[in-house]
């Protein structure tokens, strides 16, 4: 028997980056009227995998690209190339790490994008919008061909897009009954309940070119988000599982570039409060929103001919 090093990875997490793209340059002297700006607000995390045994076993760092340099790379690439769609930015970064560092055999870049809306008439004023964030996780293993034009051939790159914390609620159209009754089951069956969740969804693209072939990642994201909301609202639900499946199905049915959906839906319980003891006649109108415990429903919806996931997840 020997004790050995197993799987390992490392990187810089939570690099908070704001990229400003300026239109017409400001005239001087101040105060000036700036041109229209665009902003991209990101949280970027890098994970590198490779032959790092020496660092673990003897503290020899000859194969280690510092996490500080990883951070600098993110800032430099944002300056040099801009950010654009987060899937593209992630692929650019991941490809860089595997291509330029022989000791790195796999690079994964996870990005969270915070959405902003324009406010006012200045062209450079913004307010954070929505509770949800857009996410992307891309992985490169250094194989395959990259033409520098957004085209990834072969199997060396994978892209997963997603969103987090999209909180939704149906105040009608949800039932829950017909479940198993064991000796610990006391929940009453109901034909009218609140159904609420905070959607966490990730979807794997059929290829890292998929977004590009669907014109752009942005459209793919916007449509997936729209379809998720639509499916949640439209589905008359007999269980959160049913709603989950329909949300995934709806996206896959409409978006050929997406091969697989993974959803995690916490059941944000709302319990009807019985007010009859207080002389108040309230029929399912007043609810207590409970924090913990909560149900958690997780599931995958996929195509039966989806390409193998490789290193996507």
269 is catalytic: yes
Q: How far is CA 271 from CA 92, 242, 284, in A?
A: 48, 21, 9
Binding to its own copies in span 203-262, by CB under 8 A: 229-230, 232-234, 236-239, 241-242, 244-245, 248-249, 252-253, 260
65 binds its own copies (CB under 8 A): yes
CB neighbour list of residue 197: distance below 8 Å, 6 or more residues apart: 167, 168, 232, 240, 265, 266, 267, 268
Q: Give me the catalytic one of 12, 71, 96, 268.
A: 12
Scanning 87-95, 116-124, 141-149, 210-218 for contacts with its own copies by CB under 8 A, the matching segment is: 116-124
Binding to its own copies in span 270-299, by CB under 8 A: 270, 273, 275, 277-282, 284-299
| Closest to its own copies by CB, 217 or 232 | 232
135 binds its own copies (CB under 8 A): no
268 is catalytic: no
126 binds its own copies (CB under 8 A): yes
Please give the backbone phi and psi of residue 80, each rounded to the nearest 5 degrees, phi first. Answer: -80, -45
285: burial class by Cβ within 10 Å (0-12, 13-18, 19+)?
A: exposed
Closest separation in Å from C-beta 166 to its own copies: 7
308 binds its own copies (CB under 8 A): no
Selected binder of its own copies within 27, 167, 215, 313 (CB under 8 A):
167
Structure letter (DSSP) for residue 291: -
Selected binder of its own copies within 27, 51, 99, 125 (CB under 8 A):
125
| Closest to its own copies by CB, 85 or 237 | 237
**The tokens of 223 are what?**
């449509």
Please give the backbone phi and psi of residue 134, each rounded to the nearest 5 degrees, phi first. Answer: -95, 140
| Closest to its own copies by CB, 151 or 309 | 309
12 is catalytic: yes
CB neighbour list of residue 81: distance below 8 Å, 6 or more residues apart: 89, 92
Q: How far is CA 33 from CA 22, 39, 122, 273, in A?
A: 12, 17, 8, 55
Pair 68, 12: CB distance under 8 Å: yes
Active site residues: 12, 67, 269
């Amino acid at each position: 028997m020997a004790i050995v090093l197993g799987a390992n990875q490392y990187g810089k997490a939570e690099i908070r980056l704001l990229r400003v793209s300026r239109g017409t340059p400001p005239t001087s002297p101040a105060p000036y009227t700036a041109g229209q700006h665009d902003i991209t607000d990101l949280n970027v995390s890098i994970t590198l995998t490779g032959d790092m045994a020496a660092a673990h076993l003897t503290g020899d760092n000859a194969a280690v690209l510092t996490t500080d340099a990883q951070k600098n790379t993110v800032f430099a690439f944002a300056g040099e190339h801009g950010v654009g769609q987060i899937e593209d930015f992630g692929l650019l970064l991941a490809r860089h790490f595997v291509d330029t560092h022989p000791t790195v055999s796999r690079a994964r870049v996870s990005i969270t994008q915070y959405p902003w809306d324009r406010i006012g008439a200045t062209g450079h004023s913004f307010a954070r919008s929505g509770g949800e964030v857009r996410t992307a996780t891309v992985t490169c293993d250094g194989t395959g061909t990259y033409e520098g034009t957004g085209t990834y051939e072969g199997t060396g790159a994978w892209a997963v897009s997603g969103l987090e914390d999209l909180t939704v609620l149906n105040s009608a159209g949800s039932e829950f009954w017909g479940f198993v009754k064991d000796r610990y089951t006391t929940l009453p069956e109901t034909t009218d309940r609140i159904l609420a969740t905070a959607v966490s969804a990730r979807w794997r693209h059929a290829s890292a070119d998929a977004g590009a072939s669907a014109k752009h990642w942005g459209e793919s994201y916007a449509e997936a988000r729209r379809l998720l909301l639509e499916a949640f609202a439209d589905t008359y639900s007999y269980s959160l599982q049913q709603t989950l499946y329909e949300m995934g199905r709806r996206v896959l049915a409409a978006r050929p570039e997406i091969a697989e959906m993974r959803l995690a839906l916490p059941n944000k319980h709302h319990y009807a409060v019985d007010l009859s003891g207080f002389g108040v006649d309230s029929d399912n109108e007043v609810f207590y929103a409970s924090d913990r415990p909560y149900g958690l429903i997780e599931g995958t919806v996929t195509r039966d001919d989806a390409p193998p996931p490789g290193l996507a997840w």
